[in-house]
Amino acid sequence: MSIRLRGGLARGRLRYVFRGQSVVVLGSLRPSAPGQHAVVELLRGHRVVSRREVAITPAPGGVGNFTARMPVRRRGAFRLRALQGALKSPDLPLQAVFWSARAAERGTKVLLLQRGLRSLGFAVPRSGRFGAATSRAVLAFRKTNSMRRRRAASPALYARIFRHHGRFTLRHPRAGRHLEFDRSRRVLVLAAGGRAWRVYDASSRKPALGTYHFSRKQAGSTVYFHGGLSIHAQRGLRTGGIRVAVPDARRISQWITRGMQIFVYR
């Protein structure tokens, strides 16, 4: 008998969930027989804090599979295991957390924040250090999800990240490789494969709404898409358009090709 876990975020063998979140236990038993049940237990220390009995579903090859959703209502260190008669799976560790983070912090809680943001399409390093790029990614996530515009990661933000909620929804998912600028939320999106590939914090002098094509690049990181309007670094041109942080402007410019579309809407 063996089990694996789904939900939250993992670092190595240890899986983390946010307090109040459920973890899904996926188990298998070989050999199995019709009518069998498994008992899944959540333990804190040597005490069983939650127990679920679930049916084992026969699968080809004499394998039986089962699934159990286990809510974790308190923070702390836990273990999960499954039993069927005299059989017992190896225990798997689980850590339930209640985190917040801000600039200059570092460690596992920052690394998992970064991994979660990146998995949802936000432009962020995975360094384990809460620097300027992570602050911008947190702000872009907050803008995307109509949260208060701050650069700190609150428990409410962590809760969404650990549940894999908050991805930017494209307005034009069938447009191929393109960009979208949501003028009301002030985020710039690099889109590929029908989903947001990278989301950046941005500001704007209200470029005209519409669909445009990139026409030329200027030496450095400025890319023009409509007359004198461009995507440029915050320390760059003051002719309007969309402004992004200097390090982001370079990466965005490298990603854009001439003729690529950008959709500006609100």
pLDDT tens digits for range 113-154: 999 999 999 999 999 999 999 999 999 999 999 999 999 999
Please give the share of the chain, as a percent, with pLDDT higher than 90.
92
Give residue 208's pLDDT: 85
pLDDT digits (tens, 9 = 90+) for 195-205: 999 999 999 87
2-97 and 178-265 share one fold: no
Query: Which pLDDT score, from 0 to 100, does residue 226 have?
Result: 85
For 2-97, CATH number out of 3.30.200.20, 2.60.40.10, 3.40.50.150, 1.20.140.10 equals: 2.60.40.10
Return the pLDDT at 246: 94
Confidence of residue 227 (pLDDT cuts 50, 70, 90): confident
* Mean pLDDT, residues 11-30: 97
| Candidates 3.10.20.740, 2.40.10.10, 2.40.440.10, 1.10.3210.10; CATH matching 178-265 | 2.40.440.10
Looking at residues 75-80, what average pLDDT do you find? 98
The two tokens of residue 195 are 């989903």
Residue 95 pLDDT exceeds 60: yes
Q: Give the confidence band of 222 by pLDDT, cuts at 50, 70, 90.
A: very high
Q: How far apart are CA 177 and CA 194, in angstroms?
A: 8
| Predicted model pTM | 0.94
The DSSP string of 205-251 is S-PPSEEEE--EEETTTEEEEETTEEEEETTS--SSSEEE-HHHHHH
Q: Is 133 helix (H, G, I), strand (E, B) or coil?
A: helix
- What ranges do the domains of the chain cover? 2-97, 108-162, 178-265
Closest to 117 measured CA to CA, from 136, 98, 103: 136
Rounded to an integer, the average pLDDT of 234-243 is 71
- Residues comprising the chain, all counted: 266
